[in-house]
Amino acid sequence: MFFPNLKQGKLSKEDIILNSNLSNKEDILKDIISQLLKKLEDKNILKKENFKYEVYIKNRTLYLDLDSKILSSAKTPQEELLLIYSFVNSLLTPGGADNLVLLINGSTAEKVNFINISKSYKLNSNI
């Protein structure tokens, strides 16, 4: 999993252990998101809250529908970019999808705070 290291201005990487009784890709992706959200809360990047999210794959594109409160917690464009790519890299690294499309509260959106999120994202290990 990837998560923002705000002091260094880049993503940090940490191996995670997935629940062994997960049977399909969506359940695996939900487990990754759940662990990522907990890490973001532990690092005080997100407030401890029950965030709603959905994830599904269609034609090798992963769709991630996030609660707007997740991205609105970013205070700068760099923080928002790191937060976005923490999801992108964490979810695309295991394989099965080529790119990720962000939805906010069930709809496409241009931006939440700073960054235009209407495009699709590819894995980016340089962030």
Q: If pLDDT is split at 50, 70 and 90, which confidence band does 81 have?
A: very high
The whole-number pLDDT of residue 126 equals 85
DSSP states of 80-112 as a string? Answer: HHHHHHHHHHHHHTTSS-SEEEEEETTB--S-S
Identify whether the C-beta of residue 65 lies closer than 8 Å to the C-beta of residue 51.
no
Q: If pLDDT is split at 50, 70 and 90, which confidence band does 3 have?
A: very high
Pairwise CA distance, residues 36 & 94, whole Å: 14
Average pLDDT over residues 97-118: 88
Compute the mean pLDDT over every residue in the chain, rounded to the nearest whole number.
90
**List of residues 6+ apart from 88 with CB closer than 8 A:** 100, 121, 122, 123, 124
Tell me the HSE value of 52 on the side-chain side, using a 13 A CA sphere. Answer: 7
